[in-house]
Amino acid sequence: MIKYYEKEQLFKIDTPDSSYVMAVADGFLGHVYYGKRLSDYNIGYLLRTEDSPFVPSVNRRDRVSFLDAFPMEYSFGGTGDFRETCMDVINGNGQKNTELIYDSHVIYKGKKALEGLPSTWGEDCDSLDIVLKDAANDLEVTLTYSAFEGIDAVIKSVKVKNCGAHPVTLEKVMSTSIDVEDTGFEIMTMHGSWARENHIQRRDVGYGTCFVDSRRGISSHQNHPFMALVGKNADQKQGEVYAYNFIYSGSFICSAEKSQFAHIRMVMGIHPADFSWTLEPGDTFQAPEAVVVYSSEGIGCMTRTLHDLYRKHLIRSVWKDRERPVLINNWEATYFDFNIDKLLQIVKEAAANKIEMFVLDDGWFGHRDSDNSSLGDWFVDKRKLPDGLEKLSEEVKKSGMKFGLWFEPEMISEDSELYKAHPDWVIATEGKEPALAREQLVLDFSRQEVVDYLFDRMSEIIETAKLDYIKWDMNRPLTDLGSKMLPANRQGELMHRYMLGVYSLQERITSAFPELFLENCSSGGGRFDAGMLYYSPQIWCSDDTDAIERLVIQEGTLMLYPSSAMGAHVSICPNHTTGRTVPFATRANVAEAGTFGYELDITKLDDEEKAQIPKQIENHKKYYEVTAYGDYYRLASYRENGKYDAYMMVSKDKKKAYLTYVQVQAVPNSKRRRIKLDGLDAEKRYRIGDMLYAGDTLMYAGLLMPDLYGDAASVILEITEEV
Ligand code: GLA
C-alpha cells in the first residue's frame, strides 16, 4: 500500500512487514525511514530538518553543510553532497552539476514494464512515480517504486528525460539508494570465480566506502549484483537485513559508504566506469530495476521474500510453473568428440532409464573440434551429424525424449565464415587488435543487423530441428569497447546497448517460440542473475559439478534465487573439475536442490549406478512440488562448519518437507548430530520414516540425523504431516 500525506509531503510504502518512507524537505526528497513496518502516526519528525541549523531556506550561507548531511533519496553531485552520488550529468558546456528538486508525483495500481529491460510484473501491486526536476540542465528524473501484495520488497527504477533544447550526457544513473543509520551492520556479498561461484562473504562496514562491482559486461562470477547490510547478530532466523539485488545482467556497482555521521548510504546501478549516455532533447534513458528487501527476521526471511518475488513476478516463461524435463547433457560425456552413433547410444540408454530430454552441447556446428573455431557459423557439422540436426531430433523424439541444443549467439571465432564475411561485426577499438578470450571475440550486439542475423539463424534451427530447449551460453567478458556503428560521443553507450541487444534477442526468441524452454549459462554461473531470469526460468549455476563444491555454490545461489531456477546435474567421478569422488547417491541428492539432470556418459555407468537413475528421477518428481513452490530453510552450512550441510524445503501449507543432510566429513567415534528443523508448524505432528514427532520438538529441540558412514554420505528425509 502506498500513501501520500499532503501536509507533511510524506510518502509511505507499506509491505506486510516493512515501511519505506520519504518526505520532501525544503524541496529536496529525503529518505526518512526504511525498516520494520510503522503505524502512520506522527512519523514526519524522523527527517529532523526542523532541528537542523542548516536548512537552506533559513540559512543560505551553509547550504553545503546541509547537502553533505541530508539523507538524500536520490543523491546528485557537484553541489555539496560529497558522498556517493546517484546521478552525474555533463551539460552542453562540459560542466558537471545537478540539483534535483521535487516536482510532482502519482500513485497508481499495477506496474509499467521497462522498455527493453527485464522487470518485475503483475497487477497485484501499487506503484509510485516521484518526479524530480533539475532546472539548470532541464532534466526530469522519475523515481518509480512498486510494492507487490504480500511481498516484503520494494522495486525501484529510474528514468531520466531531457526536457531542454540541448543534448546532455549522463555519466552515472544509479537505480537505487537508501540511507540507513549504522546501528552495527556488516556487509554481506557474494564473490567467486569460474567453478567457484556465489561464495558468501561478510565483513565490517567501517568508515569510508566498500563496494562490489563487475566491469566485465556480464554480472560476473567474481562479484554478484547483490549486497546486504546485515546486523552483526543476524543469522538465518534473526536480525535486520537490508538487501539489494539488481535485475540486470551487465556491468554493475553496489557500494556502501559510511559517512561522518555514521549513516550508511548504499547505492546500486549500472557501473559508471564504462558508461555514458547522450540524451538529445526529448530523449529518455531508463535505468534497470533494483529489488530492495528489508527483513527483521534474518537472512532466511530475505531469501524467502526473493524466492516468492521471482517465482511470482519475474520469471515469465510457460515453463515457470511446469514440471521441467529431467535432462541429460553430453558436455562432460563427450566434450567436442562425438558423432551421431555416440549420441544415439547416449539417447537410447537415457530413454531406457526414464530421462526426458537430450541436450546436445557445444561442438555441433561449423568445424568445431575444439573451442578454437566456428562460433557464429550456426550450420550443422555434417562430419559429425551427416543427416543434420533434423535426423538427430527425429531419433531423440522417437525415443520419447525432448531435444535441446547449445548456442553461444553473442560470440564469433576468427576462424569462422561469419568473421570472413563481417569482420566489422566484432567489438573492437580502432587501430588495435581486440584481445581474445577462449580464442573468441564478441559480436557487437548494439547493432540491429547483428541481432537480426542471429534471430534468423536461430529461428530456422529451432523450427527445422524442432527444438524444445536452448542452452544459451556466453563464455567471455567484454573488452576493447568499440563499436563501428556508434559515433564518437556515443561509444560509452556500448556496454549497455550490448545488454539491450542481448535482451532484445532473448525477448524475440521467447516470444516467437513461447513453448521453447530457454536456459541461460555463462561459463557456468557468470550471468546467473535476476535479469536473465526474466527470459529463462532456469540458469546453469556452475561448471563445477562436484557435489561438495556445489554445496557452497548452491548455498549462495539459493540465498537469492529459487531452486526451480538453479541448474544442477549429476556428473561422473572422479569429478572433471576437482578430481574428487563422491557417492553417486550424494551427487543426486545435492543436484535435487535445483533443476535435476545428468551430465555424463550414461553408457559408461556400471549397472549399480545406472539402476539408481529411474528411482532418482522418480524422487525428483516427488520432491519437485515442494522444492519448486515451497519455502527454503538453511539449517547448517558446510561453508561455515567445514563438516556438514543441511537444508529444508517446506511446502507452503507446511504439510510436507524434505530435509537434505550431507555429512561431508565423517567424524569417528562421534554422537549422532542433532539438527534443529525450521519452517514446520509447531502445532502439527510429523512422520519421518517410522517415527512420529511434534513440530515444536523438531524445531526447538531438533532431530537426530541418521548415522551415516563415510565422507560425503547423505540422505534426504521426507517429513509428512500426520493427520
Ligand atoms: C561453458 C558452459 C559449459 C559448456 C561449455 C561448452 O563453459 O558453462 O556448460 O556448455 O561452455 O563449450
Interval 479-496: pLDDT, tens: 999 999 999 999 999 999
Pocket test for ligand 1, best of 361, 373, 541, 550 (most atoms within 8 A of CB): 361
Position 49 pLDDT exceeds 80: no
Give the whole-angstrom CA distance, residue 64 versus residue 51.
17
Please answer whether residues 682 and 696 qualify as being in contact, where contact means their C-beta atoms are separated by less than 8 angstroms.
yes
Interval 686-700: pLDDT, tens: 999 999 999 999 999
Give the whole-angstrom CA distance, residue 405 versus residue 353.
21
Please answer whether residues 664 and 705 qualify as being in contact, where contact means their C-beta atoms are separated by less than 8 angstroms.
no
Does the C-beta of 257 come closer than 6 Å to ligand 1?
Answer: no
Per-residue cell: 432: 588495435
Q: How many CB atoms lie within 10 A of CB 666?
A: 14
Q: Is residue 318 part of a domain?
A: no
- Specify which residues 187 forms β-bridges with: 203, 229
697 and 558 in a single domain? The answer is: no
Three-state SS string across 474-509, please?
CCCCCCCCCCCCCCHHHHHHHHHHHHHHHHHHHHHH
Interval 157-186: pLDDT, tens: 999 999 999 999 999 999 999 999 999 999
Identify the domain containing residue 212 by its residue range. 2-313
Q: What does pTM read for this prediction?
A: 0.98
Interval 186-211: pLDDT, tens: 999 999 999 999 999 999 999 999 99
Band (671; pLDDT cuts 50, 70, 90)? very high
State the DSSP code for 434: P
219 and 77 in a single domain? The answer is: yes
What is the pLDDT at residue 51? 64
Q: Which atom of ligand 1 is nearest to the CA of 599?
A: 9
681 and 605 in a single domain? The answer is: no
Taking residues 255-266, report their average pLDDT.
97
Phi-psi region of 298 (alpha: psi -120 to 50; beta: other; left: phi over 0): left
Taking residues 572-577, report their average pLDDT.
97
What is the pLDDT at residue 666? 96
319 Cα–ligand 1 center, Å: 23
> In sequence order, what DSSP letters do the residues of 597-647 get, joined into one string?
EEES-GGGS-HHHHHHHHHHHHHHHHHHHHHHHSEEEEEE-HHHHSSEEEE
Q: Which atom of ligand 1 is nearest to the CA of 471?
A: 10
Total count of domains within the chain: 3
Does the C-beta of 475 come closer than 6 Å to ligand 1?
Answer: yes
Give the CATH number of the domain where residue 645 resides: 2.60.40.1180
Interval 603-615: pLDDT, tens: 999 999 999 999 9
336 and 440 in a single domain? The answer is: yes
The residues, any chain, with a CB within 8 Å of residue 260's CB and separated by 6 or more, are: 207
Interval 361-405: pLDDT, tens: 999 999 999 999 999 999 999 999 999 999 999 999 999 999 999
55 and 8 in a single domain? The answer is: yes
Q: What are phi and psi of 701, to 5 degrees?
A: -105, -35
| H/E element, 396 | helix 388-398
521 Cα–ligand 1 center, Å: 8
SS3 549: helix
Catalytically annotated residues: 473, 543
Nearest CA owner, ligand 1 atom 11? 523
Band (46; pLDDT cuts 50, 70, 90)? confident
The one-letter amino acid code at 248 reads Y
Interval 584-638: pLDDT, tens: 999 999 999 999 999 999 999 999 999 999 999 999 999 998 999 999 999 999 9
Position 269 pLDDT exceeds 80: yes
473 Cα–ligand 1 center, Å: 7
> In sequence order, what DSSP letters do the residues of 59-89 get, joined into one string?
-GGGHHHHHHHS-BSS-BSSSS--S--SEEE
What is the pLDDT at residue 57? 87
What is the pLDDT at residue 656? 98
Domain limit, last residue, from 586, 616, 631: 631
Interval 231-257: pLDDT, tens: 999 999 999 999 999 999 999 999 999
Does the C-beta of 472 come closer than 6 Å to ligand 1?
Answer: no
Give the whole-angstrom CA distance, residue 145 versus residue 722.
44
408 Cα–ligand 1 center, Å: 9
596 and 498 in a single domain? The answer is: yes
622 and 656 in a single domain? The answer is: no
Domain limit, last residue, from 607, 631, 655: 631
What is the pLDDT at residue 45? 84
Please answer whether residues 123 and 146 qualify as being in contact, where contact means their C-beta atoms are separated by less than 8 angstroms.
no
232 and 200 in a single domain? The answer is: yes
Position 303 pLDDT exceeds 90: yes
309 and 336 in a single domain? The answer is: no
414 and 434 in a single domain? The answer is: yes
Position 50 pLDDT exceeds 70: no
Q: Is residue 319 part of a domain?
A: no
210 and 291 in a single domain? The answer is: yes
274 and 338 in a single domain? The answer is: no
What is the pLDDT at residue 540? 98
